[in-house]
Chains A and B, each alone.
Chain A
């Protein structure tokens, strides 16, 4: 088997009704937020395979959260569920009235995970934040995540506040997939070199179907951008537009997409285009028509170099053998 083809087991757990299946549907199945009302309760475990970036398959186990199921996971199914886990995503409902009990269940799950897959990453999402008044959000979230941390045994966990109604969901999931992608350092090194060459303020790589941020680099100037949640917001904006395009061209959201987008404004220029089979590249450069056109051309060349390297190298799209990727573009540049 190709070693770089990776299958990662992802457990999605949390109390019944906390929103596990809702967020899964929005991120991976092209639901829009208001459609998730149609979802019923998850019975037992729903398995799904999500292809991400071509060679990474997420094996998603959406575990129904009712108490009876929880007990079987912890007892008779223990070995089956908790072995080989790469990531555990545990969802807390911020509105829950039995915080202590939730934490007890969580602790039991963590102990089971420690036993079977001690190297798993743990992410805790404090979900439905939209139901809390904006001025209390940060405080309540901080309190809750401190409580969760204190019950996480030796695992170093990441917590995110999220809501399906705004971009925070994308932030949380981008954080999760970021940890899962193999060869990420290679991609990042390439992007750094590339961004420097075309003088870009920012280069972002989006996954094609989910529009999650895979990775991004920004120049010193780009770093000064005061809007910190811009990547998530972009995911949200582009995905909303994709839905609109799908609706109006009579296709499913899964098959809709963009070929290319150019935007020129007096303050900045943006280019969005397909990069590999599974990614879009989003390029922000300072104004200047000629410089912009050069940057676009270079992106195209880099893409060609990239895919050539990929075909001669190892068959499929993304992660490239280490040195070739910056070289491929260097050659194409001049």
Chain B
């Protein structure tokens, strides 16, 4: 769920991340007046609720169970360019309520619109907000509340990055996935590997090496390139015939001017694996990499199908 004061940028975030809207067009978005529920069907189904800022949900007339009952993560958006004290006070009240009744909800604070702030001012604001919230929480007796903070902006990749982290916490078998990716990356000599959701360009898992923003940018842009090119040449015509056997999943790689290689492999309908390879030795073993990725693909589909089956079983019980 996305929450925050009015005009803090909630709907903009939802449109940019999930509907591929160019950031400069979000200026024309109207204010949201009712709860917008947006179902995302991807590797796992989840709903994004865009919650209008002016609604007073803490009033007793609101059904808290209805709002927070099935919630996995609450994203609170703070406009960093505005006076944020109001928003922080409201967030504190919300956290206290949520913590009291639903301690399992992850609370994610997006300090948003930081593109307009200078670097120095950015860190100041960040520390200030973190300080304000954690003071309030420890006063109320919650020392280790699950609250996380992110600096975001829709004009660069930070909002995708932040959303990736949010979604990752909701994936039941993230550690299994990470282990799998780590094994793959180590064996193939990848510098950095991401498992992307193609539609939203959120990465749902990566190897556990430190995140490098530039790698992420290149990988996510490369997905764009492949998706766009595919759009141009994937037309249907009865006369178009294949000339031989080929894998059903798309595979692509590019070598850049500085010999970096980016390797992309489609995993299933929603996911693709993108890796950055700098090690010259591993680059020559292209066939091996492909094979390893296929093995990974099988493992991945295993992990996901099993989790679905489990869920169904649980539902039946």
Q: Which residues of A contact B (CB under 8 A)?
A: 199, 201, 221, 224-227, 230, 233-234, 237-238, 240-241, 244-245, 247-249, 251, 255-270, 272, 284-292
Contacts and interface: CB of A to CB of B under 8 A. Distances in A.
Most buried by A among B231, B232, B237, B258: B232
B236 to A, nearest CB: 8
Nearest to A284: B233
B257 A255 contact: yes
Interface in B136-166: none
Given A221-B239, A227-B235, A244 B228 contact: no
Contact of B245 (A224, A244, A289): A289
Given A261-B252, A263-B226, A291-B243, A224 B233 contact: no
B190 to A, nearest CB: 16
30 contacts: A224-B235, A225-B235, A226-B235, A240-B225, A244-B217, A245-B257, A248-B215, A249-B256, A249-B258, A255-B257, A258-B254, A259-B257, A262-B252, A263-B226, A264-B247, A265-B230, A266-B249, A267-B233, A267-B234, A267-B235, A268-B233, A268-B234, A284-B233, A286-B240, A286-B241, A286-B242, A288-B242, A289-B246, A290-B243, A291-B243
Contacts of A287: 242-244, 246
Given A221-B239, A287-B244, A259 B255 contact: yes
B253 interface: yes
A253 B257 CA distance: 11
Contacts of B250: 263-266
Nearest to A257: B257
Nearest to B266: A265
Interface string B193-232: 0000000000000000000001101100110111011111
A105 B210 CA distance: 60
Q: Which 8 A-B pairs have the closest CB atoms?
A: A288-B244, A288-B243, A248-B214, A263-B252, A265-B250, A259-B255, A261-B254, A291-B243
Given A221-B240, A241-B225, A291-B243, A259 B217 contact: no
Tier of interface size on chain B? 35 or more
A288 B246 CA distance: 5
Contacts, number: 131
Nearest to B227: A237
Given A244-B218, A266-B246, A249 B229 contact: no
Most buried by A among B231, B234, B257, B259: B257
Interface of B: 214-215, 217-218, 221-222, 224-226, 228-235, 237, 239-260
B265 to A, nearest CB: 10
Contacts of B239: 221, 224
B290 to A, nearest CB: 10
A260 B235 CA distance: 24
Given A247-B217, A284-B233, A237 B228 contact: yes
A241 B223 CA distance: 10
Contacts of A285: 243
B56 to A, nearest CB: 39
Given A225-B235, A288-B245, A259 B252 contact: no
B256 to A, nearest CB: 5
A262 B234 CA distance: 16
Contact of A237 (B229, B235, B245, B258): B229
Contact of A264 (B218, B237, B251, B257): B251
B245 A265 contact: no
B194 to A, nearest CB: 14
Nearest to B216: A248
Contacts of A234: 229, 232
Contacts of B255: 258-261
B226 A286 contact: no
Contacts of A251: 257-258
A265 B229 CA distance: 10
A249 B200 CA distance: 24
A247 B217 CA distance: 9
B87 to A, nearest CB: 29
B252 A227 contact: no
Nearest to B254: A261
Nearest to B155: A34
Contacts of A288: 242-246
Contacts of A260: 254-255
Contact of B257 (A238, A244, A256, A261): A256
Contacts of B228: 233, 237
A257 B252 contact: no
B2 to A, nearest CB: 27
A247 B214 CA distance: 8
A286 B246 CA distance: 10
Contacts of A269: 246
B75 to A, nearest CB: 27
Nearest to A285: B243
Nearest to B248: A266
B275 to A, nearest CB: 15
